[in-house]
């Protein structure tokens, strides 16, 4: 960015995000909804005061990494273990139902083709975009409600992380149908290697931090070191294993969740995240929206795409949650919490554009899905929790 314009943009984003966040809370909406609307208001879609830039995108990425690290470090390991298998099944339902519905939706609008045809592969890719869950918005909303560390909150977070891993494998398989050079088995192996690496490294790192925490209890060097570990894991996950950086950050948080000073680390990291990085991330979603020129068919497809993507997550995740022992109300909370889409959907779309399976026009429905799911999920989730306040399903 030319000159020091990035400082002006950062100042505008922060003041707009915080002001809109306060207004949202005054009207009993989650603060995150106001921050997203702030980005929409000051961005290209409305006033055009601030344009997206690499600087803003990188600050936003740090924001989501820190948010997921906080979610990980606040995790109750006993609850995580008790929800692990169920989270895996819920994530699978949350991938399969949107994948099938998205494939059918595309072909219903743009023409059906036999299995293996170009038309079928494009439809399959649209379905693949729908599979990606972005847990960051839900995590923030659950944090605000004080529900993040309950069994339901832990299940949603775990399922969303697993969902992203499954989504990466599905993405590779779908692209592999068109590009024979892509080896799906190698991708699956890299995913397995990452979690093996995270387990071994996590065991060693935990004991290093335990020693550090014992020698320097409640001092700033502990959260600083923890943040370094978080950023390193995010980098390693993305660079060397092809896993989303937020997964690495979440795993880093879970690794340190058993420390005596875990709560202190979480509070210290939250100060920096809350002041700068998280508002930029949430406002950045609104900044990406630019309607441009949209034909009638694409407009109708975009509306259907948003609706189907959100509803199929509730159906896919909610029904599996119900089948695995959660009651109707808790299943609805889980399904609603899995509705959001974010950076993973954008990355998937970009991969499709590069592979020739998607045209640039289809970024509009993806951005609209991210925007509407990010705004509506916290609102609906808060409404469901208000109507059915009992937290934590009984096993």
What is the tens place of the pLDDT at every residue in 119-154? 888 899 899 989 878 777 778 778 878 887 788 888
Q: How many domains are there within the chain?
A: 1
Tens of pLDDT, residues 49-90: 998 888 998 998 898 889 879 878 877 777 667 777 888 899
Q: Is residue 252 part of a domain?
A: yes
- Domain containing 137 equals 5-387
% of the chain residues with pLDDT over 70: 90
Query: Whole-angstrom Cα distance, residue 158 to residue 186?
Result: 24
* Least confident range of 166-180, 210-224, 287-301: 166-180
Q: Within a domain: residue 368? A: yes
pLDDT computed for residue 32 by the predictor = 77
This prediction's pTM: 0.71
361 versus 195: the higher-pLDDT residue is 195
pLDDT digits (tens, 9 = 90+) for 307-338: 999 999 999 999 999 999 899 999 999 999 89
pLDDT confidence of 395, banded at 50, 70, 90? very low
- 344: in domain: yes
pLDDT over threshold 50, residue 286: yes
Question: Does some domain include residue 174?
Answer: yes
CATH number at residue 346: 1.20.1530.20
392, part of any domain: no
Residue 202: pLDDT band by 50, 70, 90 thresholds?
very high
Q: What pLDDT is stored for residue 234 in this prediction?
A: 92
Asked, for residue 98, whether it belongs to a domain, the answer is yes
Domain presence at residue 223? yes
- Residue-wise pLDDT tens digits, 144-189: 788 877 888 888 888 887 887 777 677 767 766 666 555 667 777 8
130 lies in a domain? yes
């Amino acid at each position: 960015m030319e000159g020091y314009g990035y400082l002006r943009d950062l100042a505008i984003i922060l003041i707009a995000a915080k002001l809109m966040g306060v207004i949202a809370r005054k009207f009993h909406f989650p603060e995150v909804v106001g921050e997203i609307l702030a980005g929409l208001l000051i961005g290209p879609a409305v006033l055009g005061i601030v344009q997206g830039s690499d600087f803003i995108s990188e600050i936003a990425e740090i924001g989501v990494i820190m948010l997921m690290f906080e979610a990980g470090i606040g995790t109750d390991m006993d609850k995580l273990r008790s929800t692990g298998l169920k989270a895996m099944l819920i994530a699978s339902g949350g991938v399969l139902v949107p994948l099938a519905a998205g494939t059918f939706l595309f072909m219903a609008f743009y023409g059906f083709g036999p299995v293996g045809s170009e038309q079928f592969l494009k439809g399959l890719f649209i379905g693949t975009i729908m599979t990606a869950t972005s847990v960051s918005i839900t995590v923030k909303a659950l944090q605000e409600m004080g529900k993040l560390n309950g069994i339901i909150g832990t299940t949603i977070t775990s399922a969303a992380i697993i969902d992203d891993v499954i989504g990466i494998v599905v993405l590779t398989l779908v692209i592999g149908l068109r590009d024979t050079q892509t080896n799906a088995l190698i991708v699956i192996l890299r995913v397995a290697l990452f979690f093996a690496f995270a387990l071994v490294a996590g065991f060693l790192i935990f004991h290093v931090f335990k020693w550090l925490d014992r020698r320097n209890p409640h001092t700033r060097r502990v959260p600083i070191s923890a943040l370094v570990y978080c950023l390193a894991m995010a980098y390693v996950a993305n660079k060397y294993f092809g896993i989303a950086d937020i997964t690495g950050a979440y795993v880093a948080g879970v690794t340190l969740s058993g420390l005596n000073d875990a709560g202190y680390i979480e509070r210290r990291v939250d100060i920096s995240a809350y002041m700068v990085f998280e508002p930029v991330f949430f406002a950045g979603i609104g900044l990406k929206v630019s309607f441009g020129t949209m034909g009638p068919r694409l407009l109708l497809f975009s509306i259907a795409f948003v609706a189907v993507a959100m509803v199929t997550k509730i159906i896919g995740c909610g029904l599996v949650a119900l089948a695995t022992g959660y009651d109707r109300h808790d299943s609805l909370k889980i399904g609603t919490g899995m509705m959001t889409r974010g950076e993973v959907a954008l990355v998937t779309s970009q991969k499709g554009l590069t592979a020739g399976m998607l045209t640039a026009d289809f970024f509009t429905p993806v951005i609209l899905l991210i925007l509407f799911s990010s705004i509506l999920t916290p609102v609906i989730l808060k409404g469901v929790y208000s109507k059915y306040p009992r937290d934590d399903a009984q096993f």
